Each structure stands twice: as structure tokens, then as C-alpha cells.
A and B are shown apart, each in its own frame.
Chain A
């Protein structure tokens, strides 16, 4: 892993060119450089590393992205007094060899996240309003790209959606114009109102359609060229003619389609991308739900362990008032 990352960082243009040529040759033969299928993701792993609910770490092969979420009560903007704030920031640890284009990519990714989740209605900003014009929730999601081996956009979106689904904000009590913020041990925190869960998938279109037609005329055999591959690695993204990003929610509806640079794509390729994304979205969402359930089990075990320790500790020097307290605690649990 580290060696690969080091090679990635200091790779010479000649080495990148060799990888690009190898990727193109593999596509002509109907294969991918790392022997995956055309519609196969790398190994996806979602985990919540801390006991708190506000940090998630998503791995997709060698790409690792963490997302952290925080919220606080702030005063709203004057022109939108009933809407809360939802902010995204994407950053990566930079070395001195990174060019200035990296910050442009991060800004593009931040704009994509904002467009997909904020403008797409994933989290209703009106539900973040506490007191109109005076107090609203400001939710900030901080995405950190720890390692980049291609397809950072998808992993960042998965991490953001996972942390939005799993986060719990503190419970509030509003009396008139005063707001009482309850800590987690007083009242159970409240989840955010997430309307749907869009998961994005990047596709690399291997070559121009006119080039593919020429090659089809040259090679009369029935070998299938790979037209569209999902989850491109760094070399595949560099070798691709163009890229398409499709965001699909759990019901199979396409929330966002984005195609920006490179050669033209046609409707059949775009339909193929959308159908593949609709197939893959429930699997990634199931992984996220499984990670949330596993984290909940781990949290409960940890809380029970702490409670058992406190119970043993409170058993020392038992006297008359203690059993009543113990009974109350047991009744509450």
C-alpha cells in the first residue's frame, strides 16, 4: 500500500504513459488491468472507527476517504430565515509534489457534493430550523481524502451519505424563545431527516464511438470491446476518452447525471451507465446499512460494559439507600 502510494506520487510521465497504454490494450481485449469485470466495483468497506456516530471511513480498493460531521446552533442568513445551513469541505493531505490542479479537483468535488446533496433535497434544510430568524442548525461535513487511487468522487459521496444517515443531533426543548439543548445522556439524540440516499458511480467511457466503429471494422472476430467500465482506477481514468458520473438512490431513480470533459457520449452509453448504477446502488447501500448496524451493536456492547463496571463499583459498601437507586437504574434500562 505505502509503496504503491509512493509510486503513485512520484511516478514519471513515462510510467504513467505505460499504464495508460496497458489499460487501453486490456480494454481492447475485453479485460481490465486489475482483472475486474466491466461492472464490478473494487472491494468496498464501510466502517465507523470511533464509538461516536460522527466519523465514517470508506475504502474502495486503495482509495480511502473519511467523513466527519458536526452541527451547532447558529443564526441564519437574513435572506433565508427558515433554512438551516449545510456545508461541505473536501481536503486532502498535500505533498510538495502535488500541483495546483489538485485544489481545483477538490473544489470541483466540493461543488458536486453541494449540488447533489444540498440542492438535490437529500437533507431538507428547512427541517434544520429551530427558531425562524434566530436559531438554526448548521451542519458541516468534512471529507478527507486519505489515499487516492482513482474514483475519489464516488467514495466521497458514499462517505457523506453514510455519515448523514448515521449521525444523531442533540435533542432540543423550545420554550418560548429559549432553547434547551439536552446532552446525549439526558435524552436520546435525534437523527437528521434524510429524504433519500443518492450514491454516485463514476464510469469511464473507454474510447470514442467513431474509433470503436473503426476498430469493429478492422477486427472481424467476436471479441467484445469494453465500452463502459465502472469505478475506474487512476490509470483507467487517465486512459479513458470521457467520464460520466451518475447518482442513483435506493429506489433506482437517477438523481444526478454529470458528464463534463472528454469526447462525446451517446444515449446508449448513457443508458448503460444509468442501468449499471441502478444495479450497484442497492449493494453499496446495503453495505452502509450493515456497517451502521454493526456499529450500533458495538456501541451497545461498549455501553453495557461501562454500565456493568459502574454497577460493580456501586455495589461496594452496600447500605439501605443503594438498593433503591440500583432498582431505579435497572427499571430505567
Chain B
């Protein structure tokens, strides 16, 4: 799922025809080549005075076409889940309060799915046992709140990058439990650093072409949309494919190769803006 493109005063069908014509000529709407990505810029909010007791990290994700996501991580103590007494708890919420042209019902399912995707991918790469304080009694409860301020396609990938940048090298502070015990500070680390991209499959003019890091206009005209998450060893961390176009094995191979060739650039952009305080 993706949010429909905000075309302003242009008719949506005319906009789609324009994008289809450009793709048939081998061009993209923003002038990129078919295998180019939009480099993310992640800003770190290090104002200590503005932080409350439970606020641990604050990030702002932007890229060249104006996608903007804010992420705040808050942590409190709480009991662990009964099914997993040795693990901490992690919740992800995605809200989009600045989209007046869409109805709330229309985008609620999309945001819930993005939240589920981000949470499951982070759980795959982050050991939740690091959040355990006392087995079965107390653990850290981290709450990741993502605010979509502007979206231009690739919402899953952007949300995942924002959350990973906020959680990587996150310092859980020294704190006191209600029972009086003092918990030492520790640093969260990802044992695998995931990078994601949305890849569109365009079957115009008979041949199959891949669009790396699609924007909203390309997602609305693409025959299939594929979200791939890979790690440093080029293993597939997560994969979501839906659409009317059947996914063939060469298409999947080409899509993953296209992302792995760009994953180092994405990973360095995310790691460069990690939390500065490393203890």
C-alpha cells in the first residue's frame, strides 16, 4: 500500500498518463535514472533541555523530494509479555496528521500496515533481550512514534530508515526501578543493519523494467510494487510484494541485485546520523 499522489490542481488520470509516457521514454518524473535512489538526510535533535524524562531519541528524516518523517523514542519500565519473559517490549505507531486531502479511513489501514512492517523488521534485526532488566519482572518498554509530515512514495522504506536511525546506538539511561534497584545504562545495537527500498515493476511496451526507490506517482502507475529489506551480508530481512503483476524469479533477482548495489550508500547515510553519545 502507498498513499495516493497529491497532484494538486492536476487531474489524477492526466497525471498518470503523463508519468506513463515519461516511463515509456525511459525517463522518470524527477529526472533520476531507473536505478538511482534518493539519498536520505537524517537530523538528530540533541537539545538536552527539551527532553523529558522518558524521551530517549528524536530524529527527522528528509530526502531530496521532500519526504519528511519525524521519529521519537520514549522508554519506560514495564512488565514483559507473558509469552516472552526474557525480552523487552517494542511498540511502533505511525500517524499522519498533515494530510487533509485524504480521509482518515483511507489512510488508517496503510499506516497500521507500515507500523506492523517496521516493528517486525526491527524485531528481526534487534535482540529484544537487551531490553530485559529483570527476567519476568521488569523490562524496558520502548515506544517508537513516527509522524509522517510529507510522503512521496516509499513510505515503508522511509519509516524503517527513520526508526532504525533512532534506535541504533540508542543509550538506555541509568534509571531507578520502583523497587529501588538501580539499572545501569546500556547501548542498543543492531546485529544486522537493515536497509530498504521500494522497487516498482513497469511492464510498459512489453519489456520489464525496474524503478528503484519509487515515488508516489510511479507507485500509482507501476504494475507491481516490491519492498525489499537487505542486511550487510545481502540476506533478505523482509520482503513484501503485492500487486497485479506476477512476480517472476528473474524479476526478484534483478530487484534484489538493484538494491544490494545501492545498500552501502543507504547504510552509510543512516549510520552517519546515529546517536552521537556512545558509551
Report which residue of A244, A258, A264 has the largest number of chain B beta carbons within 10 angstroms of its beta carbon. Answer: A264
Within 201-248 of B, Cβ neighbours of A (below 8 Å) are at 231, 233, 235-244, 246-248
Within 111-140 of B, Cβ neighbours of A (below 8 Å) are at 112-113, 116-117, 120-121, 123-124
A264 touches B120 (CB 8 A): no
Interface flag for A256 (CB, 8 Å): yes
B244 touches A257 (CB 8 A): no
C-alpha gap A318/B90 in the complex (Å) = 79
Interface SS of chain A: mixed
Task: Name the distance in Å between B116's Cβ and chain A's nearest Cβ.
Answer: 6
Interface flag for A121 (CB, 8 Å): yes
C-alpha gap A165/B275 in the complex (Å) = 53
C-alpha gap A251/B248 in the complex (Å) = 12
Inter-chain contacts of B112 with A (CB < 8 A)? 107, 111
The chain A residue with its CB closest to the CB of B117 is A260
B83 touches A257 (CB 8 A): no
The chain B residue with its CB closest to the CB of A80 is B106
Interface flag for A133 (CB, 8 Å): no
Knowing A115-B1, A266-B236, A267-B256, say if A257 contacts B106 (CB, 8 Å): no
14 A-B pairs in the complex with CB atoms less than 8 angstroms apart: A79-B103, A101-B81, A115-B242, A242-B124, A253-B248, A257-B252, A258-B239, A260-B124, A260-B240, A261-B123, A264-B236, A265-B236, A267-B256, A270-B236
B83 touches A209 (CB 8 A): no
Interface flag for B10 (CB, 8 Å): no
Knowing A119-B1, A261-B120, say if A101 contacts B83 (CB, 8 Å): yes
Knowing A101-B83, A259-B239, say if A267 contacts B253 (CB, 8 Å): yes
Number of A-B contacts (CB under 8 A): 85
Within 2-16 of B, Cβ neighbours of A (below 8 Å) are at none
Q: Among the listed A251, A256, A265, which residue makes an inter-chain contact with B241, where contact means beta carbons less than 8 Å apart?
A: A256
The chain A residue with its CB closest to the CB of B247 is A254
Q: How large is the interface on A (under 10, 10 to 19, 20 to 34, 35 or more residues)?
A: 35 or more
C-alpha gap A274/B240 in the complex (Å) = 14
C-alpha gap A266/B233 in the complex (Å) = 10
Interface flag for B82 (CB, 8 Å): yes
Inter-chain contacts of A266 with B (CB < 8 A)? 235-236
Interface flag for A271 (CB, 8 Å): yes
Task: Name the distance in Å between B201's Cβ and chain A's nearest Cβ.
Answer: 12
A270 touches B244 (CB 8 A): no
A253 touches B246 (CB 8 A): yes
C-alpha gap A270/B121 in the complex (Å) = 18
Q: Which 3 A-B pairs have the closest CB atoms?
A: A264-B235, A253-B246, A121-B244
B109 touches A257 (CB 8 A): no
Knowing A270-B236, A270-B252, say if A261 contacts B83 (CB, 8 Å): no
Interface flag for A116 (CB, 8 Å): yes
Inter-chain contacts of A121 with B (CB < 8 A)? 244
Interface size of B in residues (CB-CB distance below 8 Å): 35
Chain A residues at the B interface, C-beta cutoff of 8 Å: 79, 99, 101, 107-108, 111, 114-116, 119-121, 209, 242, 244, 249, 251, 253-267, 270-271, 274
Inter-chain contacts of B49 with A (CB < 8 A)? none
Q: Among the listed A119, A120, A260, A267, which residue makes an inter-chain contact with B121, where contact means beta carbons less than 8 Å apart?
A: A260
Inter-chain contacts of A101 with B (CB < 8 A)? 81, 83
B247 touches A257 (CB 8 A): yes
C-alpha gap A40/B54 in the complex (Å) = 51
C-alpha gap A253/B244 in the complex (Å) = 11
Within 79-126 of B, Cβ neighbours of A (below 8 Å) are at 81-83, 103, 106, 109, 112-113, 116-117, 120-121, 123-124
Interface flag for B192 (CB, 8 Å): yes
Interface flag for B249 (CB, 8 Å): yes
A260 touches B120 (CB 8 A): yes
Q: Among the listed B113, B246, B256, which residue makes an inter-chain contact with A255, where contact means beta carbons less than 8 Å apart?
A: B246
Inter-chain contacts of B238 with A (CB < 8 A)? 259-260
C-alpha gap A107/B106 in the complex (Å) = 17
Knowing A260-B120, A264-B192, A267-B253, say if A120 contacts B242 (CB, 8 Å): yes
C-alpha gap A107/B239 in the complex (Å) = 19
B103 touches A257 (CB 8 A): no
Knowing A253-B246, A254-B247, say if A259 contacts B82 (CB, 8 Å): no
B242 touches A261 (CB 8 A): no
Inter-chain contacts of A242 with B (CB < 8 A)? 124
C-alpha gap A99/B85 in the complex (Å) = 13
